Amino acid sequence: MKNVLFAVLTLVYLELSMTVVAAPICAYGQAGCHVLSLVDLFERVIQQSSRMHGISSDLHSEFEQDFFPRENLVGKRRCHTYGILTPDDKENAQRLGREQLTEVILRLLGAWGDPLSQLYRSMSQDQNQDFNHYSSNKALEISDMVHDLREGVAIMAEEMKLLGGLGNTVGYISPGSLVPSAFSFHTQGELNSMDHHDLLSCFRRDSNKVKNYLRILKCTTLPGLDC
């Protein structure tokens, strides 16, 4: 009995340790691991966010060509992340500071995990063949990216905290606390194409915000040739 328990605990520990970080980097400075520098972390994160934004932009443009001639985008509905206060220009973003900026990024990324999954499920299960195979794959890809990016940014934030770039005000933010009540349509049943369109346009914007905020964060933290 004790042996069985020991084995179960070992397996659980291994699984947890493996699911912490998708990328094989040693964020905690473990012995024997190749420690990534902050610059490398920034590079990876920024590239990931840029890719994510590109894919979402492609999806949106496909969607808009096929189904909507040039309609009013968000006039009727708001994105479910409207509750997250984000700086809307450069001065505001620079005034915000690194810690808050990081927090905003994390919030944004956390808010889009579930909706994107639902979007993918809805698109793949579409019976009337509105979406081709590539669109649903892209939806799946961005939903995975959101998760990976969020974890990466978290690791980067931890690294910055270690280096002293960030204060300790940045805490772990659970995605559940950020979800505004507006975003509850996932419980309303299946998403129609309008919902799809709205989701894609909202996500396109938010991914752009994430990308931009990350760049600002990098250039203020590590000014280099890229900035």
Query: What does the binding site for another protein look like in residue numbers (CB under 8 A)?
Result: 50, 53-54, 57, 72-75, 78, 82, 86, 88-91, 93-94, 205, 208-209, 212, 215-220, 223, 225-227
Give the number of other CB atoms < 10 A from CB of residue 67: 13
Query: At its nearest, how many Å lie between another protein and the CB of residue 209?
Result: 6
Query: At its nearest, how many Å lie between another protein and the CB of residue 59?
Result: 14
What CA–CA distance (Å, rounded) separates 158 from 72? 41
Amino acid occupying residue 85: L
Report residue 90: phi and psi, to 5°: -70, -45
Residue 197 near residue 76, CB atoms below 8 Å: no
Decide whether 45 or 123 has the Cβ nearer to another protein: 45
Query: At its nearest, how many Å lie between another protein and the CB of residue 48?
Result: 14
Decide whether 147 or 215 has the Cβ nearer to another protein: 215
Query: At its nearest, how many Å lie between another protein and the CB of residue 73?
Result: 6
Decide whether 2 or 76 has the Cβ nearer to another protein: 76
- Both tokens of residue 71? 């309609």
User: Please, what's the largest Cα pairwise distance for the chain?
Assistant: 66
Decide whether 26 or 227 has the Cβ nearer to another protein: 227
CA distances in angstroms from 77 to 14, 34, 157, listed in the order given = 44, 47, 33
What CA–CA distance (Å, rounded) separates 59 from 201? 9
Query: At its nearest, how many Å lie between another protein and the CB of residue 88?
Result: 5
Decide whether 100 or 212 has the Cβ nearer to another protein: 212
Decide whether 27 or 109 has the Cβ nearer to another protein: 109
Query: At its nearest, how many Å lie between another protein and the CB of residue 166?
Result: 17
Cβ-based neighbours of 141, under 8 Å, separated by 6 or more: 55
CA 227 to chain centre: 23
